[in-house]
A and B are shown apart, each in its own frame.
Chain A
């Protein structure tokens, strides 16, 4: 990590610039649009708090790059190390609430049998958060007396921390000489009015993993592609309901933003943001799409868009724009203003929804035995997109968490109904906790 090396001893005082994906967030943050996401492990038994706190104190030593605060520079924001413990609190407040300016960008929340970590997207992405959670859970299970097989790889305390984990990998894979950006047309957005503040509400759906696996494999596609297709199909349904006459249809495309973990394509051990997204779409000018047509289209679009050269082009474009001298030399308050306007007028206008899939969580059996399921809640959606969803699987449960800031729940209800019609066992997670 360039800045770190310049700065000498990283264990006591280090700082780093925001990575390319994080740069937008400080400019668009608000009490509602917090850019805070949450990963929860629901255990089979109540959390044994003494063992947990011991495990956490070991874990935090392995992740020094998460002990940072957001600071304002003259031209950009940056992250500065703070020698403090990660904050641990009872999980009795709203999820994904904003961090204050003096807070670290991580918090750990516990209640009954739930362990949650909330991260600001300025700090890391879902993969970074998952690696942290994995180490925390493994160390917690070790505190409870289980032995973890040595061959199981995880970030464990005591080992040396590679410089690569601090790295902004976007910069490593940046290449000059790139064709200019072509912006996409405006996409359809949910027509529902916003909830009064605080707006963010989650709806959590638990899906049978064998059922959905079976349904996806019958169609010859992955679970991720299957769920993206369901999302597009449901959005099309909402669109047709709200604009029944084709004459009055003003939006032409429905797009879903699907983040892609770039570590799988470009070797990187970075624990900061290193993801981009693809945006499969359906063109409404071409008439109604059947589910199978959407499936086929999604399958091919995702493969086309995840072409390594194409992704590299997008990395280079994004990083290239921040490297331009005239962009660098704009003072921060002006830059934030421009970024904010661009975010709402160009960025979020291009897609109708977001589907983030963290994949299937892998833990050693000894730790896995303690866990019932995971929940991944993406950051509260902005007021244009209005709703998003996060997915994570574990064992025989796939959990979809919808984040919604509108008064309507049509998207999640239609999503559930569609899955049920496909013969998939799905139910809402009960928010009641009788045990408390």
Chain B
């Protein structure tokens, strides 16, 4: 038997590596112990990339800084090219507005990453403002306010509700797909409602009813598979029956 210089247990005479710690079995003197220490540290460091070593706050900060540099540079460059080329702001207002909205949204993620309400409200308001501005730029104050913003509101409300439901679900699996199906059905209703209001000035639902009629049974089947069939006999342990 001989000792492992790293963890101190005794290993077989012919062992090259310790079965417990996985380190090479070497004689116990300062040089070897240093070698093992460095080897262990390298192993631990190797397991992590520089990016992995960052905390989630640092990662968000990095993402925000990089996207900030890219977007602000984009704003400045397009603005300057436009100014030099046509001596006034023309096409660059589109890119400037889009970049500004994107930067606003990355800022929201940087400072309120866990506040879903702030994120959704901020994203909805900024994107709505973008649509209205695009409308203004094209000189047509029609589709942005009457079509774009209502659809955006429906999409955001549904996304918020779906995210909350998914977060609260104790068991995640097919039930998540079922919830998403239902949300998709409701979104279809919303799209058709808003579009028909815009086009015909009245709510006339047709195709979206077919969509919801199709997704609801699908969702029901998925719920059934998730809570009943997938766990099978495990349902007893799930409900402690």
Task: Using CB atoms and an 8 Å cutoff, list the residues of chain A in contact with chain B.
Answer: 3, 6-7, 15, 17, 45-50, 52-53, 71-76, 78, 80, 88, 90, 92, 110-113, 328, 332-333, 433, 435-436
A76–B6 Cα gap in the complex (Å)? 43
Q: B4 to chain A: which residues have CB within 8 Å?
A: 49
Most buried by A among B4, B233, B240: B240
Q: Does B42 contact A (CB under 8 A)?
A: no
**Shortest distance between the CB of B165 and any CB in chain A (Å):** 14
Q: B240 to chain A: which residues have CB within 8 Å?
A: 17, 73, 75-76, 78, 328
Q: Does B7 contact A (CB under 8 A)?
A: yes
A139–B21 Cα gap in the complex (Å)? 22
Q: A48 to chain B: which residues have CB within 8 Å?
A: 1, 9-10
Q: Does B20 contact A (CB under 8 A)?
A: yes
Known contacts: A74-B238, A75-B240. The answer to whether A110 contacts B7 by CB under 8 A is: yes
Q: Does B236 contact A (CB under 8 A)?
A: yes
Q: A332 to chain B: which residues have CB within 8 Å?
A: 170
Q: Is the CB of B238 within 8 A of A47?
A: no
Q: A15 to chain B: which residues have CB within 8 Å?
A: 237
**Shortest distance between the CB of B29 and any CB in chain A (Å):** 13
Q: Is the CB of A333 within 8 A of B170?
A: yes
Q: Does B19 contact A (CB under 8 A)?
A: yes
Q: Does B51 contact A (CB under 8 A)?
A: no
A334–B11 Cα gap in the complex (Å)? 51
Known contacts: A75-B240, A78-B240, A332-B170. The answer to whether A112 contacts B9 by CB under 8 A is: yes
Which B residues from 1 to 58 make CB contacts under 8 A with A? 1, 3-4, 6-12, 18-21
Q: Is the CB of A110 within 8 A of B20?
A: yes
A180–B141 Cα gap in the complex (Å)? 72
Q: How many A-B residue pairs have CB under 8 A?
A: 70
Choose among A72, A88, A433, A435 the residue that contacts B170 (Cβ–Cβ < 8 A).
A72
Choose among B6, B9, B170, B237 the residue that contacts A46 (Cβ–Cβ < 8 A).
B9
Known contacts: A15-B237, A49-B20, A50-B19. The answer to whether A74 contacts B170 by CB under 8 A is: yes
Q: A46 to chain B: which residues have CB within 8 Å?
A: 3, 8-10
Q: A7 to chain B: which residues have CB within 8 Å?
A: 233, 236-237
Q: Is the CB of B19 within 8 A of A53?
A: yes
Task: Using CB atoms and an 8 Å cutoff, list the residues of chain B in contact with chain A.
Answer: 1, 3-4, 6-12, 18-21, 170-171, 233, 236-240
Other A-B pairs beyond A46-B3, A52-B9, A76-B240, 11, CB < 8 Å:
A6-B236, A45-B10, A49-B9, A50-B11, A73-B237, A74-B238, A75-B239, A92-B7, A111-B9, A328-B240, A333-B170
A108–B239 Cα gap in the complex (Å)? 32
For residue B233, which residue of chain A has the nearest CB? A7
A111–B8 Cα gap in the complex (Å)? 6
The 22 listed contacts between A and B (C-beta, < 8 Å) are A3-B237, A7-B237, A15-B237, A17-B240, A47-B9, A49-B9, A49-B19, A49-B20, A50-B11, A50-B12, A71-B237, A76-B240, A78-B237, A90-B7, A110-B9, A111-B7, A111-B9, A112-B7, A112-B8, A328-B240, A333-B170, A435-B8
The 4 A-B residue pairs with the shortest CB-CB distance in the complex, in nearest-first order:
A112-B8, A49-B9, A47-B9, A90-B21
**Shortest distance between the CB of A198 and any CB in chain B (Å):** 17
Choose among B6, B7, B238 the residue that contacts A73 (Cβ–Cβ < 8 A).
B238
Q: B10 to chain A: which residues have CB within 8 Å?
A: 45-49
Q: B1 to chain A: which residues have CB within 8 Å?
A: 48
Q: Is the CB of B239 within 8 A of A73?
A: yes
For residue B19, which residue of chain A has the nearest CB? A49
A111–B6 Cα gap in the complex (Å)? 9
For residue B22, which residue of chain A has the nearest CB? A90
Known contacts: A72-B170, A333-B170. The answer to whether A49 contacts B237 by CB under 8 A is: no
For residue B3, which residue of chain A has the nearest CB? A46
**Shortest distance between the CB of B186 and any CB in chain A (Å):** 25
Q: A78 to chain B: which residues have CB within 8 Å?
A: 237, 240
For residue A91, which residue of chain B has the nearest CB? B7
Q: B8 to chain A: which residues have CB within 8 Å?
A: 46, 111-113, 433, 435-436
**Shortest distance between the CB of B40 and any CB in chain A (Å):** 9
**Shortest distance between the CB of B239 and any CB in chain A (Å):** 6
Q: A74 to chain B: which residues have CB within 8 Å?
A: 170, 238-239
Q: A52 to chain B: which residues have CB within 8 Å?
A: 9
A7–B12 Cα gap in the complex (Å)? 44
Q: A90 to chain B: which residues have CB within 8 Å?
A: 6-7, 20-21
Q: A436 to chain B: which residues have CB within 8 Å?
A: 7-8
A78–B10 Cα gap in the complex (Å)? 39
